[in-house]
Amino acid sequence: MGGPPCHHRDPFHPSDPGSSQILLLKFATQMLVLFELFAYIWYFSIEFNFFFGRLVWWVLQKYQHGFLDALFSGLSCVVSVPFYTAFLPLLFWSGHARLARQMTLLIAFCDYVGNSIKDSVSAMRPSSPPVRRVTATKDEEDNALEYGVPSSHTLNTVCLSGYLLHYVLSYPQYEDASMKFVGVALVCLLVGLIGLGRIYLGMHSLVDVIGGLAIGLVILPFWITVHEYVDIFIVSGQNVTSFWAALSFLLLFAYPTPELPTPSIEYHTAFNGVAFGIVAGIQQTYHQFHHEAVPRIFTPQLTIPTFVGRMLLGIPTILLVKLCSKALAKWILPVVSNTLGIPIKSSGYIPNLNGNGKKSDEIKQSGFIQKLFFFSQQSTFDVDTGIRFLQYAGLAWSVVDLVPSLFSQVSL
């Protein structure tokens, strides 16, 4: 009872670290296949949505009730990106570091795939009116500004709840058939409620939800296949930080341009930064704070009062780091961009920057870095993207590096 926590070992855990790099390079191919599959699904679903989808929407919205508004709004908050952003640091600090880093990378991957498809297809959400739309939070109001297909809430719920179920069932004590049945039933119930809720709240059509479900069912088995290879590469690979920095930079540019501006690129940039910060921090501190033998919550080594102490110290620290990272990035990035001759603008973080258009045109003509790469194809670059990336990268790094170091200093 009082011994160290028992950790399971996956019998299918890969043993060749080099093969993880090959699988990571196959991501691009998988993405292209996914885009092509979705294009066919979208084409054949238009007529289906026109008839049956409108019928489902009419039936669901006919039964309006305050309880249903609260229920589906609450469920949407529980599976939203801000919730995962707040939940994942606690998962790291509870001792489940492997689960936390895998779920972080998975949601970043889902966010990129889902938002890329949204902005590529640029299919509008159901019009309100006539559709009754319920936006109970500021996050939901921002979500309503995005395009509709696929439903990110449905996609994320399928992938994250499915992966969590896979993780739990990999423990020997949960391998019996009854536990598997209960787990699968709960996941299906959650996904079904989320899908119905998105239609009831007027945020998505039936095709949006089906699209999110289909893409999630493609991503989930793919991630379960490669997640161990990815984990080995992160914790023991060579040049991991530099590789992930290059990948993050590439993903910032390998993003489609929608017909109209949406906040989807902002969400992608934020989780792209989070993924980079997690990977960079884990690389440096895996053997100190994130190996499989660290104490886990609900054990004598990590009691509830100790975990509460970690939250009270950790949450203000990461918020402070996020604030400082943003301020530092707002100061550094414009200076670096001007030095390299990259024309920039700011959509919100640095309003004074937009009044310097003449100087930006001069920089555009003389910038060597701009000519060396592909910058000449775009007149100016939004420096807010870089600021947001560094802000969330600093936040994620503090979760896995700075804050655990503070825990060790104060014996938490």
Pairwise CA distance, residues 265 & 53, whole Å: 28
Pairwise CA distance, residues 336 & 356, whole Å: 16
* Burial of 13 (C-beta count, 10 Å sphere; 0-12/13-18/19+): exposed
User: Which of 204, 227, 268, 290 is flagged as catalytic?
Assistant: 204
Pairwise CA distance, residues 44 & 59, whole Å: 23
Closest C-alpha to 111, from 32, 39, 219? 219
- Token pair for residue 407? 């825990």
User: Which of 96, 153, 227, 268 is flagged as catalytic?
Assistant: 153
Between vectors from CA 161 to CA 158 and to CA 162, what angle results, nearest 5°? Answer: 70
Helix 81-93 / helix 304-340 crossing angle, nearest 10 deg: 120
Is residue 384 within 8 Å of 354, Cβ to Cβ? no
Q: Secondary structure of 78-128 in the HEC alphabet?
A: HCCHHHHHHHHHHHHHCCCHHHHHHHHHHHHHHHHHHHHHHHHHCCCCCCC
Pairwise CA distance, residues 174 & 164, whole Å: 13
Pairwise CA distance, residues 229 & 223, whole Å: 10
* Residue 8 is a catalytic residue: no
* Residue 268 is a catalytic residue: no
Is residue 223 within 8 Å of 163, Cβ to Cβ? yes
Pairwise CA distance, residues 158 & 268, whole Å: 19
Is residue 77 within 8 Å of 198, Cβ to Cβ? no
Pairwise CA distance, residues 262 & 256, whole Å: 11
Q: Which residues are catalytic?
A: 153, 204
